[in-house]
Amino acid sequence: MDNLEKVDKLRERANVSYEEAKAALEANGWDLLDAMVYLEKAGKTEKPEQTNYSTSYEEQKQYVRVEEEIKAQEEKTRHTSRTLGDALRRFFRVCRDNKFTVTKDNNTLFQLPILALLVILLFTWKILIPVMIVALFFGCRYHLEGVDDLKGANDFMESAGNAAESFKEGFKNGGSRES
């Protein structure tokens, strides 16, 4: 690099005039680094910003903010997957861990896992649903038993059994009035 290029480069970096850059280079044997230090000591350029580095831990605010944003995004993603994925997992767990029970006069006729009932119902629903309704009129009752709290479903099945019993009683009473 010739002297003219060095002067131009020092002018750009130090933001000084052509004369000041040439004088600084001549005073320091045309060495760019020494000329830059010379200009800094003379107060003709701004000193580079001093930064401190340390191995001690200080929580940086911009990193905390980014960390919070990442956690919020992960929570949003988890919440979305939790709604469908967790619902399906819970559904299959409830179907696996609980049993469908058919009773008559407080005697258990049979029990089978809810998952098995759903599979059977899937293929034979046209036959099974009418048979289950007719069985209500013959005193059969349906319950879900197992590890989960299935009170809502049991209440519904109990009210269906009570409605069938009430209908049966009404039919008997209505038939005896006509005779």
103/32 same-domain check: no
pLDDT score of 179: 42
Answer yes or no: pTM beyond 0.85.
no
Total number of domains in the chain? 2
The verdict on residue 102 lying in a domain is yes
The verdict on residue 7 lying in a domain is yes
Confidence category of residue 102, pLDDT binned at 50, 70, 90: very high
Say whether pLDDT at 175 is over 90: no
Longest dimension (CA), the chain: 133
Q: Closest Cα to residue 100, out of 118, 126, 87?
A: 118
Confidence category of residue 32, pLDDT binned at 50, 70, 90: confident
Q: What is the mean pLDDT of residues 65-74?
A: 76
Determine the structural domain holding residue 172 and report its residue range. Answer: 97-178
User: To the nearest whole percent, how much of the chain has pLDDT over 70?
Assistant: 83
Say whether pLDDT at 177 is over 60: no
Say whether pLDDT at 62 is over 60: no
pLDDT score of 44: 79
The verdict on residue 115 lying in a domain is yes
Q: What is the mean pLDDT of residues 25-49?
A: 84
DSSP 8-state assignment for residue 31: -
The verdict on residue 49 lying in a domain is no
The verdict on residue 144 lying in a domain is yes
Say whether pLDDT at 178 is over 70: no
The verdict on residue 83 lying in a domain is no
Question: In the listed set 11, 27, 42, which residue is the last one of a domain according to the structure?
Answer: 42
Q: Closest Cα to residue 68, out of 56, 79, 59?
A: 59
101/174 same-domain check: yes
The verdict on residue 101 lying in a domain is yes
Please check whether residue 136 is in contact with residue 164, taking contact to mean a CB–CB distance below 8 angstroms: yes
Average pLDDT over the chain reads 83
106-164 pLDDT, tens per residue?
A: 899 999 999 999 999 999 999 999 999 999 999 999 999 988 888 888 999 999 999 99
d(CA 113, CA 131): 19
Q: Look at phi and psi of residue 7 and say left if phi exceeds 0, alpha if psi is from -120 to 50, else beta.
A: alpha
Instruction: Using the structure block, give the residue that is written with the tokens 């619902």.
Output: 87
pLDDT score of 118: 92
Kindly report the number of other CB atoms within 10 A of residue 153's CB atom.
17
